Structure 1
């Protein structure tokens, strides 16, 4: 078991190594930057990585403060479900009400791999591969609809 400080350092090391791993991904080198993440050009819509003690996730998170706008954007994304899920063998998980640890309500559209544990450093290469493969796909699919979404908002 890790102390709180050790767990914090472990998470920091995980993300530092992930950044180094991303530097050698050819698709990312071509883009000139790593990931879109918060630079989606749509207010309240972010792409995110998440890993904890039981799973890893790659997601679109809708976190607009205004619940109505957040849910409206979720519905608009649902109308493009086929495009967003292209290449995801089992589709994506669509969660219109996810409550973060902070109590904030958000919507999430994500792919998840259970069985990963950030505390198991031997799993880190597999987690990194899961992140890279799925975020490249999710970003590509999102970019196919981004301009249409911007026009509708």
Structure 2
């Protein structure tokens, strides 16, 4: 069993290592980007990466408090589904109304791998190898479709 302080420190160390690993990688538009805290610059649309005990995931989260607007934004993403999957080179899971860890209703488009553990440094390379190409592909996708979302929120 891990202590809370140990979990916090290990996760911080992982995300610092991930950030250092990704630092030399420019965005699709050629600029510097904080990959581990990617900003979409569209309200209530977030790119989320998680590294936990047992799994890692990456996804698009829409968390507008008005579920009707959340649904409209999700439907807008659905219109770009083929482009998204083509850019990623794989299909992701789509959930219109799910609950996040705080019980809030969110819509999620994500990919997840099981069997990795951020608490075990031996898993870090596998987690990074999972996250890196996907966040780069998300950035490429977003640079092409972002204008379609800017008037939504």
Closer/same/farther in 2, CA of residues 37 and 76 from structure 1, 3 Å limit? farther
Deviation, structure 1 residue 37? 5.0
| 8 Å contact from structure 2 (residues 10, 119) kept in 1 | yes
Deviation, structure 1 residue 114? 1.7
| 8 Å contact from structure 2 (residues 95, 107) kept in 1 | yes
- Distance in 2 (alpha carbons) for counterparts of 1:15 and 1:37: 10
- Higher RCO (C-alpha under 8 Å, 6+ residues apart): 2
The equivalent residue for 2:90 is 90
Gaps of 5+ in 2: none
- Compute the TM-score of the two structures, normalised by the length of structure 2: 0.87
- Compute the TM-score of the two structures, normalised by the length of structure 1: 0.87
Cα shift readout 1:107-136 (whole Å, capped 9, x = no counterpart): 111121222111111111221121111010
The equivalent residue for 1:143 is 143
Quote the RMSD (CA, aligned, Å): 2.2
Cα shift readout 1:56-107 (whole Å, capped 9, x = no counterpart): 1111100111111111100111111101111434311101122112111111
The correspondence of residues 1-153 of structure 1 with structure 2, limited to 5 A, is 1-25=1-25, 27=26, 30-35=30-35, 39-151=39-151
SS in 2 for 1:31: coil
